[in-house]
Structures are given as C-alpha cells and as structure tokens.
C-alpha cells in the first residue's frame, strides 16, 4: 500500500469515533470479499518493456468528456460528514485540486446543490433507486440540473447487506434525509420510503439514459451482465463488488475485470474499484483493460485525516506512484501500455 494512504488510514482510525470507523471499514458477512480485494491485485505481475524514452510520462486521461489529471476517481461513499464537518463539500474541493472527479453518493450528507457550488471540475452522481420509487429519480434529476456530468446507477444493492461490524449507521436523521426530505410523500415513514428499491432493473437503467447525461452501471462482475447493461444503453461499466459490503464471497474485482473488458470490447469505458491502494494496483487495472479506477475508503480516511488537503495529498501521491510505475513498465501514458503487460503470478 502507498505509504501516505496507510498513514492516513491510521490517523483516521485514531481520530474517528469507533462506530464511524467501523461503519466505513466494515464489510458484509465474514468479510471474505473485503479481505480478498487488495490481495487480488497483488497476485498479478508485470512484463515491462525496456529501451524506450521515458522522459515524459503523463497520467492524464479523458473519460466520457471529462479531462482528468489521473485515471483515478473518488468512488461514491455515503455520509462524508461523519469524517469531516464540511462533508462532501470538502471532498469535492480536495478531489478537484488533484484534477480528479468525485462520484457523489445518493446518500451524501450535504445538499447536492451545495456540493455542486463547491465544484471546480467535473463530477458525477451515483443513483440509488429507493423504495418510494419517485424519490431516487427526482434526486437524480436534481443532480443533472446541478451539473452532474454522468449518472452512475448502482445495481448491486437490491437490499443493503448486513454489515459485520455495524449495529446501525451512525448518521443523524437530518444528514440522512438531507436530499430526500423534500421529495417525501405526505404521511408514511421517511426511513421506510428511503430504503433500497429491490427492483433496480435493466429497465430502470434504460429509463435513466433519458435524463440527458451518460449513464454508467456500477456493480458489474460478469461479462453477460456487462453486455446486458450495454444493451440497456449504459455508456460505461463499473466493475465493483461494493468494496466487499454487499454479497460476501463475490469474486474479487481484479479477477472479474478481464471477463468484463472482453465482453465490452472497447465500446464504452470500463472502470473498476475495490482494494486499490497504490500506483501499481492502478497499473494492474489498466493492464487488465480498465480505463480508470475508483477509490472508496482511502478517500474517507484522507478526508478524516486532513480534510480537503488530505484528499488532494492522497490523490497527488497516487499520481506520482503511477508515474513511476508507468515509466518502469515502459509506458508514457495510461493509453500507451505495452501489450500483454500484466500476467498472472506463477504459483
């Protein structure tokens, strides 16, 4: 793991209340998927190319119209106000100072419009469809109106899995309902209305493609599902097992990636998340065919450890680590990787 990420994780563990740290850190079930995520990236090896001029190495990429300084995005994660009083407003500032992009969670703890006002670059919005089916859609429309450049529909969460280290989500009712309250129907329990919609279908994905921005499908672990999402109109695929927080024992994303890349066959960008903690993890993902990666927990630890500046520092360090990895692998850019760069480690 990159040193600054390890240090920020330690600082966050020391600083955050125990129940907040556990809420962020936990996985579901026996935490098998969580435990395997980072290790899976480290089972791959590189076949570097030599004899090339590596004077100028550039990590910049263009992704669905967004120009980014590095192929690393901040994944959608809930309730950043548990990590920092400014919550997602601090996160987006830190992310944009590093030239990256925030995928803002449907379960964010600041008003979408306030996060958008703090933006200094592109951002996307993660959509959850909720039990009261109009709410998730109205929130998604608000995000597009506020400037979200894409919608990311999370499709691996028909129900929220029981988390191993968690009695309840340690967030205040006000922060929990901050973007939902104005859309609630009269009467009824707001917390029932805003649980997950168990029917997050391909039809729902298709419907979102009519909102005027590209739609990515998040939570894909199979080639056939990637194809089905493309058929439904997806403009991008996010290979994810939700950071080991949904189906425990789901395959590691490092191992699912190649099948999805093959099915997508270059038609749309493929992103991947889960356990990515260093420039070489990013390089492995790129070598296996991803266009970019996302970081979940490391952004939360960075936010808790150092606010916006901590987030910028984490992403800047990761970019530096990736520059070194690219140069030593014989690649001047994420789009210039040697063919067959990544291979499975021999047993």
Residues contacting 144, CB < 8 A, separation 6+: 125, 151, 211, 212, 213
Q: Count Cβ neighbours within 10 Å for each residue of 184-209 and write b for 16 or more, e otherwise.
A: beeeeebeebbebbeebebebbebbb
Interface residue with ligand FNR, options 94, 296, 306, 307 (CB under 6 A) = 296
Interface residue with ligand FNR, options 242, 260, 311, 325 (CB under 6 A) = 242
Contact present, 18 and 304 (Cβ < 8 Å):
no
**Helix spans in the chain (H):** 3-15, 18-25, 32-41, 88-97, 112-117, 133-146, 173-176, 190-193, 202-208, 223-231, 253-264, 279-287, 297-329
Task: Give least dist CB 137 to ligand FNR, A.
Answer: 16
Catalytic residue among 80, 84, 96, 242: 242
Q: Does 154 bind ligand FNR (CB under 6 A)?
A: yes
Report the site for ligand FNR in 70-99 (rule: CB under 6 A): 75-78
Residue 242 known to be catalytic: yes
Is 274 marked as a binding-site residue? Answer: yes
Task: Give least dist CB 49 to ligand FNR, A.
Answer: 29
Q: Nearest-CB residue to ligand FNR?
A: 296
Contact present, 291 and 70 (Cβ < 8 Å):
no
Task: Give least dist CB 299 to ligand FNR, A.
Answer: 8
Q: Does 292 bind ligand FNR (CB under 6 A)?
A: no
Q: Does 319 bind ligand FNR (CB under 6 A)?
A: no
Report the site for ligand FNR in 324-343 (rule: CB under 6 A): none
Strand pairing class (66-68; 72-74): unpaired
Report the site for ligand FNR in 243-282 (rule: CB under 6 A): 243, 245, 273-276
Is 128 marked as a binding-site residue? Answer: yes
* Beta-ladder partners of 66: 63
Q: How many CB atoms lie within 10 A of CB 174?
A: 10
Contact present, 103 and 323 (Cβ < 8 Å):
no
Task: Give least dist CB 338 to ligand FNR, A.
Answer: 26
Is 77 marked as a binding-site residue? Answer: yes
Is 245 marked as a binding-site residue? Answer: yes
Q: Known catalytic residues?
A: 242
Contact positions vs ligand FNR (CB under 6 A): 24, 37, 75-78, 105, 107, 126, 154, 218, 240, 242-243, 245, 273-276, 295-297
- Residues in the annotated binding site for FMN: 76-78, 105, 126, 154, 218, 240, 273-277, 296-297
């Amino acid at each position: 793991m990159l040193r600054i990420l390890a240090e920020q994780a330690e600082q966050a563990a020391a600083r955050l209340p125990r129940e907040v740290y556990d809420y962020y850190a936990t996985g579901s079930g026996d935490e098998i998927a969580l435990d395997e995520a980072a290790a899976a990236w480290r089972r791959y090896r590189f076949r570097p190319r030599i004899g090339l001029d590596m004077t100028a190495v550039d990590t910049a990429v263009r992704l669905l119209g967004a120009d980014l300084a590095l192929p690393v995005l901040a994944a959608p994660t809930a309730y950043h106000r548990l990590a920092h009083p400014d919550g997602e407003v601090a996160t987006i500032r830190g992310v944009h100072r590093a030239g990256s992009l925030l995928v803002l969670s449907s379960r964010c703890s600041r008003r979408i419009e306030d996060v958008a006002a703090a933006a200094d670059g592109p951002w996307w919005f993660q959509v959850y469809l909720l039990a009261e089916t109009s709410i998730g859609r109205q929130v998604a429309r608000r995000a597009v109106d506020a400037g979200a450049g894409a919608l990311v529909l999370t499709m691996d969460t028909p129900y929220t899995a029981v988390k191993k280290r968690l009695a309840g989500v340690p967030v205040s009712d006000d922060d929990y309902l901050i973007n939902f309250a104005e859309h609630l129907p009269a009467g009824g329990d707001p917390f029932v209305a805003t649980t997950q919609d168990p029917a997050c279908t391909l039809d729902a994905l298709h419907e979102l493609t009519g909102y005027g921005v590209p739609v990515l499908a998040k939570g894909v672990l199979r080639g056939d599902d990637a194809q089905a999402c493309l058929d439904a109109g997806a403009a991008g695929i996010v290979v994810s097992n939700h950071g080991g927080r949904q189906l425990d024992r789901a395959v590691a994303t490092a191992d699912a990636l190649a099948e999805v890349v093959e099915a997508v066959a270059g038609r749309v960008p493929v992103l991947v998340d889960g356990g990515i903690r260093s420039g070489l993890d990013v390089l492995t993902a790129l070598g296996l065919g991803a266009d970019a990666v996302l970081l979940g927990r490391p952004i939360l630890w960075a936010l808790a450890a150092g606010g916006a500046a901590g987030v910028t520092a984490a992403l800047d360090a990761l970019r530096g680590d990736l520059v070194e990895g690219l140069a030593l692998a014989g690649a001047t850019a994420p789009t210039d990787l040697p063919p067959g760069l990544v291979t499975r480690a021999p047993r």
